[in-house]
Amino acid sequence: MMTREVRPADGGYAPSVIIQGRLYHRVGPLQAREGERPSFAQIYVNDPDCDDPAAEAALRLGHVPLPRGTREPERARLLTLLEQLQVLLRQVNPYVQDFIHAAELPEEEVQQQRLVVSADARPADQHPRRYNRAEGFREVAVLMDEEPVHQDIVLRRRADAEGPFLQTVNETHRAFEALHFVLLLPFGTDGWQPDLRQAVANGRGDVRGVSLMQYYAHRLQLRPDLDDSLFRAGRLFQEYVCMAFARVETQRLLYLARNQAGLRAELYQRLQDALPGDAERELAGGDRVGQRVILPASFTGGPRYYQRR
C-alpha cells in the first residue's frame, strides 16, 4: 500500500493512522532483482521449497517494525506465530498458493503465456479463448490472444527491463483487500466489486447493486455471535478503516469526474472563468493543472462545501 502517511515530527508513536491524498495498492514481480532484498509478496515465493520454516519466518519478521522495547521472549513468540501462519496460509489462501506455483513454473512457460488475476473471476460469459483455467491455479487464469483489461492484475516473474516496476491494483478489483490484508482475510475472500448485488430483492422484485459505502457499512457493523476478528486486529483494523474511507472517497471523486454534465458543471465553469487568480483556484479545488473538475456543495470537504458552511 502506497500513500502519504502523516507521521509525528519526532518520529515517535502515532496513536492513529492518518493518510493524506490518494491511496494505492500495488503489486510487483514475483522475484526480486539481483542483489535486492525480497519484500512484500516476494517473501512468500522467494524460496517455495525452503526446508527451514524458522529461517523463512525470521526473514518475514525482519520486515515487521517492532516497538523499541520488544523483549526477546515476545520476539520468540512472534517467530513461532509466523511459522504457524506461513503453514496455514499455504494450506488455505489461494493467492499465496498461486503466487508460489507461478514462481515454480519454467521460465519458458511463463514467457509464452500471460498469467492474470481477473477482476471478474473468469466470468462465464467470456469467450473460452480469453480466460482459461491454468493447471494448478485456483485464482489465476491464462489470458489467451488478447490484452488484459485495465482492472486485471498481471503476474510477472521478474521486473521487465522496460515498463513500471510496480502495477497498481484497481480499486474495483475483487482482490483489492485480499492481496493486502492477508491476515484479516486468510482464505482470500473476495471483496467489493461493481457487479455485487444485494441478497434480497426490494418490494418491486428488483435486486439492486451494493455501493462501496454500503459494503463497508455492512463490514464494519459489529454483530453478536458472529466472527469479530476484524475488530480485534488493533492497528491493522485502523489501517483497514483508513483504506475503506480512502477507497470510498476515491470512488465518489471518480463518479463526480465522469458525471460533470449531470451536475450542471458548465454553469460553475462560466462563473469560474469570470474569477481571477486565487478565487479561481479556490473554486476549482487546486492549481490549474490537468482537467478541471467541479465538486458540488454536497461533497464533504470540497471548497464549495466549506463556502456553504
- Asked whether residue 151 falls in the same domain as residue 219, the answer is no
**Residue that terminates a domain, selected from 141, 176, 191:** 191
Based on the domain organization, do 92 and 42 belong to the same domain? yes
Q: Is 90 exceeded by the pLDDT of residue 231?
A: yes
Same domain assignment for residues 62 and 154: yes
> Is residue 165 located within the same domain as residue 131?
yes
User: CA 75, CA 43: separation in Å to the nearest integer?
Assistant: 19
279 found inside a domain: no
* Structural domains of the chain, count: 2
**Same-domain status, 120 and 240:** no
Residues 183 and 196 in one domain: no
- pLDDT, tens digit, for every residue of 217-226? 999 998 888 8
Say what the pLDDT of residue 256 is: 83
Out of 94-98, 150-154, 303-307, which region has the weakest mean confidence (pLDDT)? Answer: 150-154
Q: pLDDT digit string (tens) for 239-279? A: 899 889 888 988 888 888 888 777 765 556 555 554 444 44
Domain residues for the domain of 179 are 25-191
Question: What is the average pLDDT across 175-197?
Answer: 89
pTM for the model: 0.74
111/74 same-domain check: yes
Q: Which residue has the cell 502517511?
A: 5
- Mean pLDDT taken over the chain: 76
Same domain, 218 and 156: no
Q: Which residue has the cell 458540488?
A: 296
| Alpha-carbon gap, residue 268 to 295, rounded angstroms | 10
- Going by pLDDT thresholds of 50, 70 and 90, the confidence category of residue 140 is confident
Residue with the three cell numbers 454553469: 267
Instruction: Output the pLDDT for position 272.
Output: 55
Same domain as 178, residue 80: yes
185 and 60 housed in the same domain? yes
Q: Are strands 19-27 and 153-155 parallel, antiparallel or unpaired?
A: unpaired
